[in-house]
């Protein structure tokens, strides 16, 4: 398995797992909070998909506008144009509302459809190019992808699975 196959395999799996974890949820389940020390499922999903969109497009492809802005979603959905959740105040995170599960899942699919061709063909040399992502600093593009999409994405997926389980829904998919 080469780097391109690795990236498309594992990031593709994450996108499918997010879609499966959200596909059967009602609005009440998306925004469920077991206590005041966590964020709701909708926030975790929105944050990760926005992060993936930003890293693959804006960071890795030299400031290519993310799907988020190309589709005009900040205006359509009444959500921040640039902010994607990192450093967001808890009250703002808890107040975040998506236009609906199905519209959000379409955004997730659109982000992956946009990211997959790039990840499938990007050269090893380009992946070693240094670029800055706050708050992490300057690192190779591959490290930003690994940290903020794969590792970070799995962490948020775990939060989503736990929040499903607490609600008595299918948690781990095995």
35 exposed, middle or buried (CB, 10 Å; 0-12, 13-18, 19+)? exposed
Tokens of 12: 């593709």
Tokens of 58: 């804006």
**Cβ proximity of 18 and 108 under 8 Å:** yes
Q: What is the spatial distance between Cα 57 and Cα 114, in angstroms, rounded to a whole number?
A: 9
Q: Can you give the pLDDT at residue 174?
A: 63
- Give the phi and the psi of residue 34 in degrees, each rounded to 5: -75, -20
The Cβ of residue 86 has, within 10 Å, a number of other Cβ atoms equal to 14
Q: What is the spatial distance between Cα 157 and Cα 172, in angstroms, rounded to a whole number?
A: 10
**Cβ proximity of 133 and 87 under 8 Å:** no
Global pTM value? 0.95
Q: Can you give the pLDDT at residue 123?
A: 98
CATH number of 3-166: 1.20.120.450
Q: Can you give the pLDDT at residue 118?
A: 98
Burial 120-147 (b: 16+ CB within 10 A, else e): eebeeeebeeeeebeeeeebebbbbbbe
The strand pairing partners of 140, in sequence order, are 130
Helix axes 41-53, 152-166, angle to 10 degrees: 160
Q: Can you give the pLDDT at residue 149?
A: 97
Q: What is the spatial distance between Cα 102 and Cα 89, in angstroms, rounded to a whole number?
A: 26
Which residue ranges in the chain fall short of pLDDT 50? none
Q: 3-class DSSP state for residue 138?
A: strand
């Amino acid at each position: 398995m080469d780097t391109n196959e690795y990236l498309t395999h594992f990031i593709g799996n994450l996108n499918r797992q997010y879609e499966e974890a959200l596909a059967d949820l009602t609005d009440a389940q998306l925004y469920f909070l077991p206590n005041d020390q966590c964020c709701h499922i909708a926030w975790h999903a929105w944050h990760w998909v926005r992060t993936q969109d930003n890293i693959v497009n804006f960071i890795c492809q030299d400031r290519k506008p993310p799907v988020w802005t190309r589709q005009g979603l900040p205006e359509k959905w009444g959500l921040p144009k640039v902010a994607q959740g990192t450093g967001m105040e808890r009250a703002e995170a808890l107040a975040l509302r998506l236009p609906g599960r199905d519209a959000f899942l379409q955004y997730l699919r659109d982000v992956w459809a946009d990211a997959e061709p790039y990840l499938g063909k990007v050269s090893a040399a380009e992946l070693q190019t240094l670029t800055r992502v706050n708050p992490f600093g300057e690192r190779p593009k591959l490290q930003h992808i690994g940290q903020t999409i794969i590792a970070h994405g799995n962490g948020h997926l775990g939060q989503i699975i736990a929040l499903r389980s607490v609600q008595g829904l299918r948690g781990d998919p095995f």
